[in-house]
Amino acid sequence: MLTFENMRVDLGDFTMEGTFEVAKGARVAVMGPSGAGKSTLLNVIAGFQDATGRLMWNGQEIGPLPPAERPVSMVFQDNNLFPHLTAFQNVGLGISPKLKLNEADATRVREALQRVGLEGLEDRKPAALSGGQQSRVAVARMLLREKPLVLLDEPFAALGPAMRIEMLGLVRDLVAETGATLLMITHDPDDARLIADQCILVADGRVEAPVEMETFLSDPPEAMRAYLGT
């Protein structure tokens, strides 16, 4: 279980606070108006942004840990892949940051790439992959890292609708397989419905506790209603 007690972010002219819990294995959409702090929230959990309060995973405080030592795997909006490394190397970094891979590691990397449908493309660099294939490489690395908490900062926003739905389906299947907890930023209620069963609202400097997706979308809070135009 992910718990955050008395979270507070202070960036001068922007503050955000909240106390919330996310159950283990939950799939949570993070929604709210642009600039409300959705990315900031994920950055705090991943360790890229300082905040006060107690951030805990399964009862252990993870706030003081550097990003790589947190139980977190994050897929960013862009720059998920190093352009000068092959798909294989980009995924391999998930096992060893020094890229020292033994035969068993290499097999795991190939299997992860296979699982996301990139068999045979191991030696391609990102420039030689389509946008959807690049997302798959990032997802393969996320899969390989086996972190129990997966954060998605709109990584598929630049893909076409069909491709995006396909990727969301892939991620949903993967987290279901591994039992990972998922937090995903999205603007689109349909995307949210597709992948998540709960929703966290970030608006007006507050992070609300998660509520059931259907409740949230059928009777949205005031701040969300203005945003969705319903």
Partner 1 sequence: MAVRAGTLSIWAGAVSAALVLALTLGTLGAVVWRADGFGALGPRDWGYVWFTVWQAAASAAISVALAIPVARALARRQFWGRSALITVLGAPFILPTIVAILGLLAVFGRTGVVSEVLSWAGLEPISIFGVHGILLAHVFFNLPFATRLILQGWLAIPAERFRLAASLGFTVSDVARVLERPMLRDVVPGVFLVIFLICTTSFAVALALGGGPQATTVELAIYQAFRFDFDLSKAALLGLVQVMICVVAGALVFKVRLPSTSGVGLDRVVRRWEADGLGLRVLDALCIGLAAVFLLGPLSMIVIEGIGGVFSLPGSVLEAAWSSIWVTVVSTALCMALALSMALAVSRLSAGAGALVEGIGSLTIAASPLVMGTGLFVMIFPFADPTALSLPVTAVVNAAMALPFALRALVPAVRDLQAGYGNLSASLGISGFTWLRWVAVPRLRRPLGFGAGLAAALSMGDLGVIALFSNPDVETLPLALFRLMGAYRLEQAAAAALVLVTLSLAAFWICDRGGRVDVDV
For partner 1, the binding residues (CB under 8 A) are 43, 46-50, 66-69, 72-74, 76, 79-80, 82-85, 93-94, 97-99, 125-127
3-state secondary structure of 197: coil
Q: Rounded to an integer, what distance in angstroms lies between the CA atom of residue 91 and that of residue 94?
A: 6
DSSP state of 158: T
Q: Which is nearer to partner 1, 50 or 123 (CB)?
A: 50
DSSP state of 35: T
Minimum CB separation from partner 1 for residue 188, in Å? 24
Q: Which is nearer to partner 1, 39 or 186 (CB)?
A: 39
Q: Which residues contact 23 (CB under 8 A, 6 or more apart)?
A: 1, 181
Minimum CB separation from partner 1 for residue 12, in Å? 14
Residue type, 117: G
Q: What crossing angle do the helices spanning 103-115 and 131-145 adopt, rounded to 10°?
A: 130
Q: Which is nearer to partner 1, 3 or 89 (CB)?
A: 89
Minimum CB separation from partner 1 for residue 9, in Å? 12
Q: Which residues contact 220 (CB under 8 A, 6 or more apart)?
A: 228, 230
Minimum CB separation from partner 1 for residue 195, in Å? 21
**What phi and psi values does residue 54 have, to the nearest 5 degrees?**
-105, 115
Contact indicator for 16, 5 with CB cutoff of 8 Å:
no
Concatenate the DSSP letters of all residues of 64-113 into one string.
Answer: TS-GGGSSEEEE-SS--S-TTS-HHHHHHTTT-TT----HHHHHHHHHHH
Minimum CB separation from partner 1 for residue 189, in Å? 28
Q: Rounded to an integer, what distance in angstroms lies between the CA atom of residue 218 and that of residue 185?
A: 19
Q: Which is nearer to partner 1, 19 or 49 (CB)?
A: 49
Q: Which is nearer to partner 1, 24 or 84 (CB)?
A: 84
Q: Which is nearer to partner 1, 48 or 204 (CB)?
A: 48
Q: Which is nearer to partner 1, 69 or 214 (CB)?
A: 69
| Both tokens assigned to 200 | 């966290």
Minimum CB separation from partner 1 for residue 213, in Å? 27
Minimum CB separation from partner 1 for residue 158, in Å? 15
